[in-house]
Structure 1
Amino acid sequence: MSARRLAIRQPEEFKISAKATKEIKKWIEKYPEGRQRSALIPALWIVQKDADGWLPEKALRAVGDMLGMAYIRVYEVATFYTMFNLEPVGTHFVQMCGTTPCWLRGSDELKAMLERKIGPQKTLSKDGKLSWLEVECLGACANAPMVQISNDDGDHYYEDLTAEGLEAVLDAFVAGETPKAGPQNGRHTSEPEGGAMALTTENLSKARRKLVKLPNAETKAAINYYEWDPKERRATKGGWVDPASKASRDPKKRPANHGKDLSAGLVEQSHFAGRPKRASKPVAEKPQVIYKDGPTDGAPDDLKKIKGIGPKFEAELNAKGIYYYRQIGAWKVADIKVIEEDAMARFPGRIKRDEWVKQGKTLAKAAAKPAATKASTKKAKS
């Protein structure tokens, strides 16, 4: 993005008009207290219109004072968005689109004409009524080449231009006239040049449904009524009544007429119906997490072998009914949360950090191996 700076020559004084101030206050009121800066962009646009199409430095400061913003924040926005002009512009400011679609359709000829008639970009014509600037896409590619001309009457698009056509438009503005905006080659909006190529059948309009008058509406008001479309149904207290047939158009108040029911006798089937159910696997018995009546399942394990558990923690865990490695190895997230909130409130996250669950599983597995080996040896001897 090119650097944009304030104009070298600035007016000595600037004051926002009463009309512009009133309009800006309307925008400020749209936002809650403390969020007035949200109205910055519309405020700058209003002030630009009030300052003959550009933003002097004093105008930026005035907007900052109204919105309670630092001046540098206002400058940042004004210099970023190219819709804000930082130098004086003509009474009729021409923005010429020079991007690909317009270029392919002859924007170079428009540019040459503007340079000849007005001068280089960002310069005023001798009478101060015209200035121009090449800009990026203005969004009317179907009507290329085109320009936007901004003045006191607004911001209007002039499309389907030739160099001669644009010059005629500018001459009309200078003479105090207001040429009609839009396409300048006779076509309507963005219809195809040379006439319509589709939907040209003469009797096509006969297929449309009859206009139906709305109840309690003005004489001129009418709609296209589509009986099958609930979005198009305008319901009233007594239901919709067709003035011609005097019959209710409320679906609840008229008999259904959808033809013969072809679904009679059919049985709804699922493609899963014929498949046999799979036998569910037996759920493995989970280790007991808490022993309320003490270590009833043999001698308790030495929990101090788990890294992070000292004598104090071991005593607290025993008091909560935890005596064995397999209990700790079977902890889930919910169990850890309960333990940490109760016995380890001062050490949150320690169980996960020291991997108590993993250590518990490993120690429980190691403790189970000697017992299994001893039982197999005894069986072999016998």
Structure 2
Amino acid sequence: MAECRCRRADQQKDQTVHTGQTDHTVYTGQTGQTDRTKRETEKDRRLAALLEKYREERGALIPLLQGVQEIYGYLPGPAMERIARTLRLPAAQVYGVATFYAQFHFAPRGRHVIRVCLGTACHVRGGARIFEALRRQLGVEDGGTTADLRYTLESVACIGACGLAPVIMIDDDTHGRLTPESLPGILARYE
């Protein structure tokens, strides 16, 4: 299981997420660091523009959360605190709204999100075997992300493609009539 030993944002350094194989730098909201990449600087600029667009518009909380997640791929704590300051809302309210909705994520996610249907039709046709095969192959639990940030694995109640059961979605692509043996070939397309 991955372990996270993170520095607090007020320690003026980016957090490092230790996953046992690869370390990943995570946004902390601090600026002026010499090792910041151009990509992170661009994300900071996009965040600043987004916050300016909705400055003090209390009704803009959800669009701001969506925008931050679009920029970073998840909701970094320091970015949520900046949202609270921008909208003049208590941080607890921002966190409360963000944690209410399943669409928001609080840790870095994989470049590819794999959703495994465990609905009735998929369950009857071996959806649990598909999920277990993916879990073993990727080495993560439900909701987990691989150490290389390539894949995030999630179980879902229904994808809506029952005629193709068992079904998975990788990003926006639906793959049906699966067997555990068919999974390595499908995953290879997303490397």
Task: Give the TM-score taking structure 1 as reference length.
Answer: 0.36
Aligned mates of 1:45, 1:73 — CA distance in 2: 16
How big is the alpha-carbon RMSD for the aligned residues of Structure 1 and Structure 2?
A: 3.0
Structure 2 gaps of 5+ residues are 8-13, 16-27, 31-42
Aligned mates of 1:25, 1:144 — CA distance in 2: 46
Letter in structure 2 aligned against 1:95 = R
Q: Deviations over 1:134-189 (max 9, x none)?
A: 23334444544333434xxxxx1423141344432322211xxxxxxxxxxxxxxx
Structure 1 gaps of 5+ residues are 1-6, 151-155, 175-382
Residue 145 of structure 1 pairs with residue 166 of structure 2: yes
Residue 101 of structure 1 pairs with residue 118 of structure 2: no
Q: Where is the strand percentage greater, Structure 1 or Structure 2?
A: 2
Q: How many residues align?
A: 156
Distance 1:18 1:149, change over 3 A: farther
8 A contact 2:108–2:149 mirrored in 1: no
SS at match of 2:86: helix
Letter in structure 1 aligned against 2:120 = T
The aligned counterpart of 1:168 is 185
The aligned counterpart of 1:41 is 62
8 A contact 2:144–2:154 mirrored in 1: no
8 A contact 2:113–2:153 mirrored in 1: yes
Distance 1:108 1:78, change over 3 A: same
Letter in structure 2 aligned against 1:14 = G
Q: Give the Å deviation of 1:103.
A: 1.7
Aligned mates of 2:74, 2:96 — CA distance in 1: 16
Higher Cα Rg: structure 1 or 2?
1
8 A contact 2:143–2:155 mirrored in 1: no
Q: Give the Å deviation of 1:70.
A: 1.4
Aligned mates of 2:169, 2:64 — CA distance in 1: 21
Aligned mates of 1:101, 1:23 — CA distance in 2: 42
In the TM superposition, 1:310-349 aligns within 5 A as: none
Aligned mates of 1:48, 1:111 — CA distance in 2: 26
The aligned counterpart of 1:62 is 82
8 A contact 1:113–1:167 mirrored in 2: no
Q: Deviations over 1:230-282 (max 9, x none)?
A: xxxxxxxxxxxxxxxxxxxxxxxxxxxxxxxxxxxxxxxxxxxxxxxxxxxxx
Give the fraction of aligned pairs with identical amino acids, expressed as a percent.
Answer: 29
The aligned counterpart of 1:121 is 142
Q: Give the Å deviation of 1:24.
A: 6.2
Q: Give the Å deviation of 1:71.
A: 0.8
8 A contact 1:78–1:84 mirrored in 2: yes
SS at match of 1:173: coil
Letter in structure 1 aligned against 2:184 = E
Residue 71 of structure 1 pairs with residue 86 of structure 2: no
User: Structure 1 segments of 4 or more deviating over 6 A?
Assistant: none
Tell which has more relative contact order, 1 or 2 (C-alpha 8 A, sep 6+). 2
Aligned mates of 1:161, 1:23 — CA distance in 2: 42
In the TM superposition, 1:6-17 aligns within 5 A as: 9=6, 11-12=14-15, 13-14=28-29, 17=44
Task: Give the TM-score taking structure 2 as reference length.
Answer: 0.65
Aligned mates of 2:182, 2:61 — CA distance in 1: 37
